[in-house]
Structure 1
């Protein structure tokens, strides 16, 4: 049952039980993104690896310039500290870029002195360009937790001395129960982060809309209807209970490709209303950049259907409105089951890469597509899709 957590002990179980019994797990429809909230300006940032900075610094600069990206995270694996140079930032510094230095604790090697030396060098010449310093732990062992707390204490003290924000713990396996425990440990040491960071890379291997059946223990997730959206809502509640009000999320690539699950997750993360920033991968990011260019400053109007085998999410600003659409469970759906044909004709239709496609090529599959209309256009939407073989034929107008 508890294979995922090699550090399981009485203290953790007691802490997890207190969280389960608290009010924090109870939400009204918490698995559904809340309506009518604005996506923040400068919401998107880039996650940059050492390879990105070495192999394509000009491409990184150009991407930031073209897409008005002002926040980047520089990933530094603990077993590659010697390969990172503060001068990697030189090319980006003339473009009003904010840097987050992110140490990823990939093993339990003693890198204390190496990391301190790198921080000393970086803060000596680049301090005014560093917005935050982040520590990420990637496993749930007692040894990993001990190594994290040791590095965290030193980093926290240096950052406070230099008046730089501290971020973490950015655990890729994304367990609210573990995050809650880590926050309590850090609170006891007066070392709570300014920014809570989450790494969702491991979440990209499954459908992001999926209700988790095994959430800490079997059937708990299904009972509480925990999916990605509700886990983020719980994370926000936990962070705010420790007076941490800023949450950054990062998605990095495991297979050097953006999958349909990744794009669907990004749309849901934009819609969820819980995040301050979303850091996206630099490589193979064509479809991601389409969203970066369009979504900042838009208002998320809501999901048009809930608890269905498809997703339609409505975004709007003063100039245009957009539906992000996809099916689940490898289905292919006919758009005329959802939209009147005149509204399909009136839309600009974009595929998952952000390229315009003809309405004759338009099918709803498990890969997101995007329909864009003028903001003033009233879209008459079929309230009960024919594809689901419901009897009712109510129609609602979206404006």
Structure 2
């Protein structure tokens, strides 16, 4: 009834809160992390040293039956003796939780709570009760069981005048918050602090509107992003008498990230930084803490132990099971340290830009002015389009992980950038600050940096290790150096001229240059509203590579500013040798061969099918997936590796393709293949997406075959052949 009443009175409606308000101070204890003990006492000292080294003074420790005399008790004593601020999360073992509210289970719980609070209550910052209460499979509670658990904990914390936090609903499911708080209010047992594990993982990126509410297409209607979620949860708590909101644990797991993107650890660090800045900007949270410090799946430190415990760590982070010698810090640890150093205690001055895709947030303190700037995944914004030249010259630049950058960056990207100035400096963002239109970059290319250049009427990006290598490349790849293609290095000249030039970085290596030279009349009109061909090729290849899919590595793109001919643009990539293409492979099987280049027919279909599933599963709709556009290289052991070329028509998504989009690509790759081969390839592919090759799907392939035949007979090329051109 409480949820229905809250809904009917407009409680869930919070228009405008997807944008942050300004003027609040970020709490000094805003950043913290979850920790757990190991049987090895040496890990205690390592944990304390790690926390101190990274400037993290707030920790959350899960504590259950038997822990006081075990490793967790030993660690808790060490943390309190070292002066750490501890949130002590008390919980029952799952078996005991499932027995609540029976008298024996309730009695054991009270005995545990009393003993723990007598020993530690006066020394901890707050006592948190329950977690993932809205997940019965994890927490174990019926409603009656939870209420009995809560009543005992509430009585004992009140008797000792301790701060009580709960009930830790997990993720964003506000009806649960309303329901539980309404019940606790009715019973006179409200917590001091309303807790919710405010995950953003299901949105993939922390600033995105939540597509789990109404789907991708309608997400812009409700605008439930992280800011609006935090604002609503804080308002719900306030409406029921608990205005203080705290998120004790949230994280991104590497397997979830790596469904779409290959650089799992880098993306974990990106998301952590972006999430923490947005939580600080919301003004709704007293704290936003990361989940496990040490574990393989989602920890900031990898302990090397891959098997996951039976109970989710968000419910009970019971122990660190790896060996100290195997511990390895991930980039996300340094990213958290940077946030902990730069944001707590600052006053939030607001989100400085308008629109979606770019985020610039300002924080000021007595120590200085800090801007956090980033884009959504794969996109970029030129800093010269965001800031005045004198502001850029006066800034100190820190990378996402807080390290001072020795070379001034030229782009804001998906990895947050910290720009720092003196405390009294006033820095305004340029009017209309926005993303570079149509530009996609592969931000996490190992050892490479994107250098944005705008000069002498040209604009482009050069990908190089540093400014010195970029300058070396510019001696050969600047558009004023490229000129017309020499006949001896020309690979193709039709609608586009494609030729090779020497790579100035490596003697004997070559780069490939592509320039449009012929535009049909209808293309001259339609392409006027699109990015240049060079930029489309750059962005298509970059989008493939950032998703872990093969393409010739981009080196640079250039476009003439204001060019109306649509021909003054160049795309450059590394020259990649390939043994053959998918067209040759499939044509051989269509001609009756049972193997090609040492690859058997069935094996070829398996490998190609797996590649296509990965391509479509990672959100790439190629739109020109002919066999000639899939190059195949063979490793030393003969294993094929697939690379895509002619990438300018790609459409990309942050979710797997629909069946219609998949079929649209598949009809093209199958055009040269006989039906027996199609059935093998498509049978494998469709089985993986739980479909079969029925007559409706077969019809798409017959229609496409007919269109290709018709085009060959009466299309443009056929007319040219007829007239001998």
Per the normalisation by structure 1, the TM-score is 0.82
> Which residue of 1 is the match for residue 418 of structure 2?
370
> Which residue of 1 is the match for residue 171 of structure 2?
173
Q: 1:125 to 1:348 in 2, by over 3 A?
A: same
- The count of corresponding residues between Structure 1 and Structure 2 is 376
Q: 1:70 to 1:53 in 2, by over 3 A?
A: farther
CA distance in 2, matches of 1:106, 1:205: 31
Q: Could you report, residue by residue, the CA deviation over 1:74-133 in whole angstroms, capped at 9, with x for unpaired residues?
A: 124789899664332221223433332213578454465554444333223223213322
> Which residue of 2 is the match for residue 223 of structure 1?
221
> Which residue of 1 is the match for residue 75 of structure 2?
88
8 Å contact kept, 2:133–2:168: no
CA distance in 1, matches of 2:147, 2:215: 26
> Which residue of 2 is the match for residue 192 of structure 1?
190
Q: 1:163 to 1:249 in 2, by over 3 A?
A: same
> Which residue of 2 is the match for residue 38 of structure 1?
25
1:299 aligns with 2:347: yes
1:351 to 399, 403, 422: 399
> Which residues in structure 2 correspond to 1:1-399 (within 5 Å)?
14-51=1-38, 56-65=43-52, 69-76=56-63, 85-103=72-90, 107=94, 108-110=97-99, 112=106, 115-138=109-132, 140=134, 144-146=141-143, 147-201=145-199, 203=201, 206-215=204-213, 222-253=220-251, 255=253, 258-281=268-291, 282-283=293-294, 284=300, 285-385=333-433, 387=435
CA distance in 1, matches of 2:66, 2:216: 35
Q: 1:200 to 1:267 in 2, by over 3 A?
A: same
Return the offset for 1:288.
Answer: 0.9
Secondary structure of the 2:381 match is coil
Q: Could you report, residue by residue, the CA deviation over 1:181-224 in whole angstroms, capped at 9, with x for unpaired residues?
A: 01111122221111111212464762121122443899886433
Secondary structure of the 2:237 match is helix
CA distance in 2, matches of 1:118, 1:221: 45
CA distance in 1, matches of 2:181, 2:46: 38
Return the offset for 1:327.
Answer: 0.6
Secondary structure of the 1:144 match is coil
Return the offset for 1:135.
Answer: 1.9
Q: Could you report, residue by residue, the CA deviation over 1:154-178 in whole angstroms, capped at 9, with x for unpaired residues?
A: 2122212222222111122231111
CA distance in 2, matches of 1:216, 1:145: 29
Q: Could you report, residue by residue, the CA deviation over 1:214-250 in whole angstroms, capped at 9, with x for unpaired residues?
A: 4389988643322111111111111111211222112
Return the offset for 1:16.
Answer: 3.5
Q: 1:224 to 1:286 in 2, by over 3 A?
A: same
CA distance in 1, matches of 2:118, 2:61: 17
Give unmatched runs, 5+ long, in structure 1.
Answer: 1-13, 390-399
8 Å contact kept, 1:76–1:84: no
Q: 1:381 to 1:53 in 2, by over 3 A?
A: farther
Return the offset for 1:59.
Answer: 3.3
CA distance in 2, matches of 1:260, 1:25: 30
Q: 1:231 to 1:205 in 2, by over 3 A?
A: closer
Q: 1:211 to 1:255 in 2, by over 3 A?
A: closer
Secondary structure of the 2:32 match is strand
Q: 1:386 to 1:31 in 2, by over 3 A?
A: closer
CA distance in 1, matches of 2:40, 2:202: 24
Return the offset for 1:253.
Answer: 4.2
CA distance in 2, matches of 1:329, 1:68: 28
Q: 1:141 to 1:292 in 2, by over 3 A?
A: closer
8 Å contact kept, 1:105–1:137: no
CA distance in 2, matches of 1:144, 1:95: 35
8 Å contact kept, 1:25–1:224: no
8 Å contact kept, 1:348–1:371: yes
- RCO comparison, higher one (Cα < 8 Å, 6+): 1
Q: 1:124 to 1:20 in 2, by over 3 A?
A: closer
Secondary structure of the 1:37 match is coil
CA distance in 1, matches of 2:118, 2:214: 43
CA distance in 1, matches of 2:190, 2:42: 36
Q: 1:106 to 1:223 in 2, by over 3 A?
A: farther
Return the offset for 1:299.
Answer: 0.9
> Which residue of 1 is the match for residue 524 of structure 2?
none
